């Protein structure tokens, strides 16, 4: 079993305090700072200033903490809970603990995949779903388990998310609920809910800055699509933005690259490899007394002199997107765009710092002066009735709709209209609005093709308002990301009631 799978199973089976089985032995105290640069109060607060994450617990919870080989671990135990020792007992005999794990590894295949793989026979899933923590997508899971036959029943609630290159898992474990005094379970759940509500997931601070200055423009004069974001689509940390010209459903082509802001630029050719960046331009910017750097990599060329420092203006052409350096596949033309503060710390220009398959036009504490456009890939299919079908009133219309670049289904609405038509499909009259389809239908077949986040992409609508004759049905689906509306047409024959 991989370490990530083991961690997921550990979470779901509630073996929350057994470090031996997962190799999470305590490191020396000096390792903590090098692992996760955090500042902790002695009682109820966790704060990771580097990654912009903090939470608080109500008073009266005893805290223990330690560094591990894979990150950081802390647990807050209620006074009714037996003190947990990783050397002798995996869980308290009664009471509750709230545990926080901060892991410097990412869940293989994403958190949702790890939760799927981690569910075992000992754990009954009571509820699950997704929630938003300040714009960061998090996963909620509630389970009930038994460690031994007929003994040690435990219930857990957990919230987990990826942020700033860390995997955060916050869990409430309630042990032997039947032996607790009245009201204890509700008190524990309120404490956990308070901890979740107190979670602050923000942008890592810029050195010397109170807020992100909005100064960048897109590094091109046409619409660009984010092909890879702060994280790669496979979950690996990227710390840059890869742009391609146009939507992702067509081959990428070279495009002119322009400076995102005024500054002093250097065009580097070197050996053509340059640590995998290939040919690149690096620009130093002064923004209200703060220093930032932008880098434009994998260029095929530049009009700037090689190796010389020159002053460029915002929007001035500085190169052409290409595929020099380390590019996979080798023919893939794109721009690798990097933003750094004055100390060389990399920043997400969109202010997201999380796994996303798309980027909003403007969201949160970002660095853009003008909101960049968002390309999306909405898709819609009407499965029933089929082409040329003869329908009798009332009849069902159903299918699926999704935006392929969304983290979930990503569709605002599906509206269905009908136009009277001839047998060849030519429209002969004005439209009839049949209604707004019900969304959220379970379509695991669609999820098998496009990803599990689209399992709920089905829609359906029942109508009984079409007189006899040929009708052209038009299904309109609107992307929740970009507002783009797409359509599908279907010719049917209504045979009446």
Q: What residue ranges do the domains of the chain occupy?
A: 3-201, 224-347, 378-494
Asked whether the beta carbons of 130 and 140 are under 8 A apart, the reply is: yes
pTM attached to this predicted model: 0.49
pLDDT digits (tens, 9 = 90+) for 31-61: 222 222 233 333 345 666 556 677 777 666 7
pLDDT digits (tens, 9 = 90+) for 266-315: 999 988 889 889 999 999 999 999 999 999 999 999 999 999 999 999 99
Q: How far apart are CA 120 and CA 127, in angstroms?
A: 15
Which range has the worst mean pLDDT, 96-105, 141-150, 174-183, 336-345?
141-150
The whole-number pLDDT of residue 401 equals: 96
The whole-number pLDDT of residue 272 equals: 85
Peptide bond into 394 cis (omega under 30): yes
The domain over range 3-201 is classified in CATH as 3.20.20.140: no
Q: How far apart are CA 476 and CA 413, in angstroms?
A: 8
CA dihedral of residues 176, 181, 183, 185 (deg, nearest 10):
-10
Q: Map residue 179 onto helix, strand or coil.
A: helix
User: 378-494: what CATH class?
Assistant: mainly beta
Share of residues in the chain with pLDDT > 90 (%): 33
Residue 71 pLDDT > 70:
no
What is the per-residue burial (b if ≥16 Cβ within 10 Å, else e) of 382-395? bbebeeeeebeeeb
Residue 93 pLDDT > 60:
no
CATH number (3.30.450.40, 2.70.70.10, 2.60.40.420, 3.40.50.12780) of 224-347 reads 2.70.70.10
Q: In whole numbers, what is the pLDDT of the chain averaged over residues?
A: 76
């Amino acid at each position: 079993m991989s370490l990530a799978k083991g961690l997921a199973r550990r979470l779901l089976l509630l073996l929350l305090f057994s470090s031996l089985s997962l190799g999470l032995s305590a490191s020396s105290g000096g390792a903590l700072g090098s692992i996760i640069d955090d500042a902790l109060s002695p009682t109820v607060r966790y704060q990771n200033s580097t990654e912009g994450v903090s939470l608080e617990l109500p008073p009266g919870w005893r805290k223990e903490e330690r560094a591990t080989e894979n990150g950081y671990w802390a647990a807050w135990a209620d006074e009714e809970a037996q003190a947990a020792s990783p050397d002798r007992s995996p869980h308290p005999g009664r009471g509750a603990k709230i545990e926080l794990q901060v892991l410097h590894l990412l869940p293989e295949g994403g958190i949702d995949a790890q939760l799927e793989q981690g569910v075992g026979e000992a754990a009954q899933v009571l509820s699950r779903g997704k929630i938003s923590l300040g714009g960061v997508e998090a996963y909620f899971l509630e389970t009930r388990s038994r460690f031994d036959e007929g003994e040690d029943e435990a219930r857990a609630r957990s919230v987990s998310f990826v942020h700033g290159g860390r995997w955060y898992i916050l869990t409430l474990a309630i042990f032997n609920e039947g032996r607790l005094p009245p009201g204890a379970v509700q008190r524990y759940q309120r404490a956990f809910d308070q901890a979740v509500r107190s979670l602050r997931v923000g942008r890592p601070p810029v050195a010397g800055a109170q807020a992100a200055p909005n100064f960048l423009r897109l590094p091109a004069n046409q619409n660009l699509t984010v092909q890879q974001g702060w994280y790669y689509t496979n979950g690996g940390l990227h710390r840059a933005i890869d742009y391609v010209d146009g939507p992702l459903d067509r081959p990428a082509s070279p495009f002119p690259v322009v400076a995102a802001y005024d500054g002093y630029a250097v065009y580097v050719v070197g050996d053509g490899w340059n640590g995998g960046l290939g040919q690149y331009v690096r620009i130093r910017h002064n923004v209200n007394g703060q220093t930032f750097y932008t880098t434009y990599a994998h260029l095929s060329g530049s009009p700037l002199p090689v190796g010389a420092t020159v002053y460029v203006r915002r929007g001035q052409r500085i190169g052409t997107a290409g595929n020099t350096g380390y590019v996979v596949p080798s023919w893939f033309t794109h721009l690798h765009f990097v933003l750094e503060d004055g100390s060389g710390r990399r920043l997400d220009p969109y202010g997201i710092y999380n796994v996303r398959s798309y980027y909003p036009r403007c969201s949160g504490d970002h660095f853009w002066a003008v909101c960049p456009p968002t390309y999306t890939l909405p898709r819609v299919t009407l499965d029933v009735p089929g082409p040329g079908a003869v329908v009798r009133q009332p009849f069902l219309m159903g299918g699926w709709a999704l935006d392929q670049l969304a983290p979930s289904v990503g569709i605002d609405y599906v509206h269905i209209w009908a136009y009277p038509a001839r047998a060849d499909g030519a429209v002969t009259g004005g439209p009839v609005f049949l209604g707004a389809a019900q969304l959220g239908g379970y379509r695991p077949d669609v999820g098998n093709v496009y990803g599990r986040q689209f399992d709920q992409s089905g829609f359906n609508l029942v109508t009984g308002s079409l007189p006899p004759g040929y009708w052209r049905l038009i299904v309109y689906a609107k992307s929740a990301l970009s507002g783009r509306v797409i359509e599908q047409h279907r010719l049917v024959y209504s045979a009446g009631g």
